[in-house]
Chain A
């Protein structure tokens, strides 16, 4: 029973080496104090607390870079957006949460009329954002989505029609 087997840590240990020895005992005892030291560092340093108290810190919430809140459509200073009404996002959506309603502008060009986004059926899966070739939509930081009526969850993301 003395063949060497590799331990998980990569340090070879002898199989069946379970005999009590003083060295082993002292090592085990030291490991207990090591663990207590680790936990004590958590107690003694209040800065390590990871809890954030939500309604109070609402003003200065910090979101991770890839946080996925409800879908938004960025607009520039002229209330223009990048959407060309190509409907790739509508096709990419597994829930049918997006409907692109088109219209014609003054030059009879097919443009976006209304970007209908049904938040009630959206799972925030990010597939529409991946499908968009123009970066016209992205995942926003909105997460307070409660509404009194289901109709309030049908949103139109573009601010202007027919541009």
Chain B
């Protein structure tokens, strides 16, 4: 079946596309096209100056610390509390997004209903909105006297200034990732396979669980990882709604800033290195997931 190139201007999974098609391209050397030296050179130069050297600088600086000193800084109680909060809240938010994001993607691709296109465009909203605005409006909404908070307060659920609020903010900013990663996969899904299962006697739920879900799993996991990675580094949308109380509702990025304001540069750098390393690991994991996902497609 001829395949249409993915027309959606994607905010998330394009990196996978480039890796996939690179592998599929002919192995001939297109040395006839000019400009390789120039563009490659500039690319590497710019990349080094803007990204590699500064990041390298950070690592180098932390090497000034002895290993014990480093370890002490990154395992301080306050730091540990911050990690727990950051990773825990990010995990929960990513899980919520994985589940509900799959549902949203399914509804957007499979069904036609009034307002579908509007909903589809809306999904990108968290990605386009500045984080500070997101934080501000969510904090306002979920405050005990806010539009939504007033319904939750009588139930004893306080969203603002608690870890719960952090999860809400992280769910907001991670929302597009699972949906956008899953949509192309669902769109290319062969409906006839589901019909085949039906002709063989399988009911709808069984068909979904044994035939559809396994095929969607790699994409869902990729979206999950992307949402998770985004969430652990998130700052702007969280600090408005979190209580920012140390040990309790203080996320790791905030702790870094506090350390900076205390002129505790080494403390800040050590924490930053931890976050960087986690970012790198996640990036690699996401690459691997995307590779797995594209292999599955073929």
Q: Do A and B bind each other?
A: no
B interface vs A, CB < 8 Å?
none
What residues make up the interface of A, taking CB atoms closer than 8 Å to B?
Answer: none
